[in-house]
Amino acid sequence: MSIWFNDSPRESLQRAAAGGFADHIGVRLADIGPDYLCATLEVTPQLHQPYGVLHGGASAALAETAGSVAANLCVDPQRFMCLGQELNVNHLRPVIAGVICATARPFHIGHRSQVWGIEIRDAAERLICVSRLTMAVVPCRAAA
């Protein structure tokens, strides 16, 4: 059974992928299933911290992007939007290069909040980062 509001979330996924910070650093929305969303990021020297490994902020941005897009695909976009409230990130393994993949799955999808678990893995399927993202579900406001 699908958790998505829209019967065809792939179309919504493509619209969500364009522009903004995540697009600027190279986050790509890659796959969507009945209860998960995957986003990828190619680790390049531009995303390294001074010691030559992936910057933790890039992992956090990838995790928040995957969870945030997923959360917003679970609500009626004419009535609600989901905004990040809290992000917890644990870095488990350094990454120097390659493509990493964040998979977001819900722990809780409620009327006022959502909680998502995001695992980031490298190309060898090794767990490099785990995150928990809390999203507030708020009513859309009329455009000013």
- Residues that are catalytic: 64
DSSP string, 48-104: B-TTSSB-HHHHHHHHHHHHHHHHHTTS-TTTEEEEEEEEEEEE-S---SEEEEEEE
Burial bucket for residue 107 (CB in 10 Å: 0-12, 13-18, 19+): exposed
